[in-house]
Structure 1
Amino acid sequence: MISRTTKMISTFIATILVMTFVFGLAESISSGFAGFYGGLPFWIIAIVVMGMAFYDMYDEAFKKK
């Protein structure tokens, strides 16, 4: 069984890495050929998905069970 502290640190690092990748991808789509309005749907999806990722991180590692 993984300790609670290890789970907290690993889920936080993993969420930050995923967030960096997804927001970097959204930024490159918006600043490239698609333009801001072409990349706007991806930004909306990325923000919703990151909200879900943060909730899952909280539920998995930080919430007392």
Structure 2
Amino acid sequence: MTSPPSPNPSEEESPEEAERAAEELLQFFRTLPTVARRAYEALAEADRTYGEDVGAQKRAAGAAKGVE
């Protein structure tokens, strides 16, 4: 399996560097097996819904299963 691109530790990256990093990330994502890609997509959807609130994610998952 391919490793994801390393994050750039510099907070002052140029727009070109940001574009290149984004393209590398897309290329990595496209090389993933379908099952792994679906797992990443589900995680991304949860992040869009709940942000970094892991507790809210767990509560929502429990509520969906009928668990409190």
Higher relative contact order (CA 8 A, sep 6+): 1
Give the TM-score taking structure 1 as reference length: 0.35
Give the TM-score taking structure 2 as reference length: 0.34
More helix by share: 1
Max radius of gyration: which structure? 2
